[in-house]
Structure 1
Amino acid sequence: AKPDVKGKVGVKNFRFGDVVTDIIADGNKCFVVSNGEYALEINGKEYKIEKGEQEFTV
């Protein structure tokens, strides 16, 4: 679930398998940097994360 906080919150250099990713939320915006593909679920909605940088609204 998306945290209900003001300002930026998230993780950097989170590793699972061969994937290393940053996931940062700032309000309703989510910023992701990843070296590989994976599925990210936030509040029951799945987002397809691809290699590189992405930004989306949650």
Structure 2
Amino acid sequence: MNFGVREYWFIEPESKIVSVFTLQENKRYGRPEIYTGEDVIKVSIFEDLKIELKHVFKY
């Protein structure tokens, strides 16, 4: 928060869960968006970037 990191991801490979924390207008992180192995994440800081988790957790 202190350095203005707009988004960070916490990845749990064994359980195939991704928690995405996004910096809010009040300069704090809200509750994370939670994604599982078959979800597609639209990266908020890059307009056209989407990540299909089925490829990330393939192995």
Give the TM-score range, shorter chain: 0.3 to 0.5
Higher strand share: 1
TM-score relative to the length of structure 1: 0.35
Q: What TM-score do the two structures reach when normalised by structure 2?
A: 0.35
Larger Cα Rg: Structure 1 or Structure 2? 2
